[in-house]
Structure 1
Amino acid sequence: MRAPPFPLLLCVGLLLAPLVVRAQPAAATPLAELSVASLQLPAQEDPAWEHRREAIAQLLATLQPDVITVQQVLQEGRRNPACWLASRLRYSCDFITADPPSQAQRHGSAMLSRLRVEEDGVTLLHPPGRYSAAGMMRVAVGEGQVNIYVARLRPEPDTAASRQHQANDLMTWIAATSDGHPSLVAGDFAASSSDVVRGMPGFQPARRNPSARVEKPGAGNGNIDSHGLDVLFQVKSFSGKRQQRIELPVEGDMPVLPLGVMAVLRLQAPAG
């Protein structure tokens, strides 16, 4: 009996060889970004508001922040400057205050959003004062959710102990309401930059070298060495992409009008 020809054995061996398929790497999903502005608008009775509010609305319509927070809002009647601005930009508006609706003048802050708001809330920081109500808004960002808190850590009286008490209240509230979502705080901070970071561990200011900008005494910004308006973000959840001041340029006999800052943040990739 003759053995099969050698070429036939070689062909059978080739047919039985396993096929190796190499998987192509999946395209990386771009990380979601979030832009947040922390502002203080001119008072409603200030001529600068009457003459420049349209320019303010146009500037913010160009910048298109996802969320705008406004400090030191005074509401008389049913409308305040922040919610007027929201109506022009077609944003939602939440007025954050501890004052009862029956009060003629109500003091607080405002949160404006062009993103879908999933949840919101209000708490009171101690010691209480005209602007000691803090607010929270949970918005949809990409396929996830982000908590945005607004607070003015300038207690009355403004002492280091009172500021730390308010910071502790805020951190406790964040821990109780964040539900594991990335969180940031847009606010006005009376302490120095190092004290702000020390009082709110895990959070980092978006504004670089804020101590280089000296606040003007009498401008309603508190202490000369205060940190000022900024956005603090959780280092574990965000990376700062860029930040910029928001201001109106000189117009005729009207000087530069500083409004605040805007931070553009990139969400970190989830662990694993």
Structure 2
Amino acid sequence: MLRWGCFGLLVLSFSALAQPVAPVIKVASVRLPPVSESWMNDRERIATLLADLRPDVIVVQDVQQVSDASNPACWLGGKLRYSCDFVSADRPSQAQRRGNAILTRLSTLEDGITLLHGDDSPSIAGMQRLQLQRAQLNIYTARMRPADNTTIARGHQAADLRTWMDATGEGLPSLVVGDFSAPTDELVRQLPGFQPARRNPSVRRPEPRPAESNEHGMDVLYQVRSFADIKQQAIVLPAEAASLASTPLGMMATLRITRAFDEASSDTP
């Protein structure tokens, strides 16, 4: 009887081990200091800080690239040994280009870009499909700050983003990593089904960066039906001296994919 009991426990143990573990992803959304003496002084410390945090994906917001200097986001990606995809609505021939960059240590399966219209200067949105263990997921990045910062202009950009995600998502779990000028309640209405990690109304959390007026700011938006919000934390570069102030860089969300792998490929976005 003892041998059968041990055998039964052993079978149960193997059965538990055979169950797939839902993967966890860490996504950081940061804004780097302007390319100047401050950036040159702090970039090694920023790289060390992010290396310690070990995000799977880093989206660098509002990257400014000039022709006579290296792209700061891609410099950071090279330092961390992450791939770097810089997306910009500006022509490659321009002396100065502005956009976002996606850095990742995961395998990239597909990528794409689109324009978000809202005024005379449309912004760019990027997408990467990533492999995380046995799961695939989409990372969308967008800076939704139209120059004509009205509800109508913001709504046009959100509608463009929704249409693009519907066309490219293929039912896979999706995240939107961006910088948003819309107030939180407006943003949630514009992107139904997505929950902001930084301002989750169910949890009171400190802000990684004070927002101007009532704008939402930088955040990671996740599909409620596809992810569970595990943790959110501010990314802050400590001051080098006690007399100096620390530098807020952004935030990082830690999320677990909750949908079974076979469900993701059959659902619609």
**TM-score bin, normalised by smaller chain:** 0.7 to 0.9
Residue type of the alignment partner of 2:177: A
Identity %: 49
Asked if 2 retains the 8 angstrom alpha-carbon contact of 1:107 and 1:131, the reply is: no
Query: Shift of the alpha carbon at 1:23?
Result: 11
Deviation larger for 70-79 or 107-116: 70-79
Equivalent residue for 2:77, pick from 76, 86, 91: 86
Which residue in 1 is equivalent to 2:219?
230
Residue type of the alignment partner of 1:229: M
Superposition map of 1:160-175 within 5 A: 160-175=151-166
Which residue in 2 is equivalent to 1:51?
41
The verdict on how the C-alpha distance between 1:171 and 1:211 changes in structure 2, with shifts beyond 3 A counting, is farther
Asked if 1 retains the 8 angstrom alpha-carbon contact of 2:88 and 2:98, the reply is: yes
Which aligned segments of 4 or more residues in structure 1 are displaced greater than 6 angstroms? none
The verdict on how the C-alpha distance between 1:129 and 1:267 changes in structure 2, with shifts beyond 3 A counting, is farther
> What is the TM-score normalised by the length of structure 2?
0.85
Which residue in 1 is equivalent to 2:101?
110
Residue type of the alignment partner of 1:38: S
Structure 2 distance, partners of 1:214, 1:53, is: 19
Superposition map of 1:212-227 within 5 A: 213=207, 223-227=212-216
For residues 178-203 of structure 1, give each alpha carbon's deviation from its aligned partner in whole angstroms, at most 9, with x where no partner exists.
11111000011111111111110000
- Does residue 255 of structure 1 match 2:245? yes
Residue type of the alignment partner of 1:152: R
SS state at 2:240 partner: coil
Query: Shift of the alpha carbon at 1:71?
Result: 0.8
Equivalent residue for 1:199, pick from 187, 190, 193: 190
**Which protein has the larger Cα radius of gyration, Structure 1 or Structure 2?**
1
Corresponding residue pairs, total: 246
Deviation larger for 144-153 or 22-31: 22-31
Which residue in 1 is equivalent to 2:3?
none
Structure 2 distance, partners of 1:269, 1:106, is: 38
> What is the TM-score normalised by the length of structure 1?
0.84
The verdict on how the C-alpha distance between 1:214 and 1:180 changes in structure 2, with shifts beyond 3 A counting, is closer
Asked if 2 retains the 8 angstrom alpha-carbon contact of 1:74 and 1:106, the reply is: yes
Query: Shift of the alpha carbon at 1:215?
Result: 6.2
Asked if 1 retains the 8 angstrom alpha-carbon contact of 2:208 and 2:235, the reply is: no
Which residue in 1 is equivalent to 2:4?
none
- Does residue 133 of structure 1 match 2:127? no
SS state at 1:260 partner: strand
Structure 1 distance, partners of 2:225, 2:150, is: 30
SS state at 1:147 partner: strand
SS state at 2:129 partner: strand
Equivalent residue for 2:149, pick from 133, 158, 166: 158
Superposition map of 1:28-47 within 5 A: 28-45=19-36, 47=37
For residues 230-251 of structure 1, give each alpha carbon's deviation from its aligned partner in whole angstroms, at most 9, with x where no partner exists.
1000011101110100011122
SS state at 1:57 partner: helix
Structure 2 distance, partners of 1:56, 1:22, is: 49
Which residue in 1 is equivalent to 2:235?
246
Q: CA RMSD in A?
A: 2.4
Asked if 2 retains the 8 angstrom alpha-carbon contact of 1:44 and 1:80, the reply is: no
Which residue in 2 is equivalent to 1:70?
60
Asked if 2 retains the 8 angstrom alpha-carbon contact of 1:72 and 1:131, the reply is: no
Residue type of the alignment partner of 1:57: A
Structure 2 distance, partners of 1:131, 1:55, is: 34
Gaps of at least 5 residues in structure 2 are: 1-7, 265-269
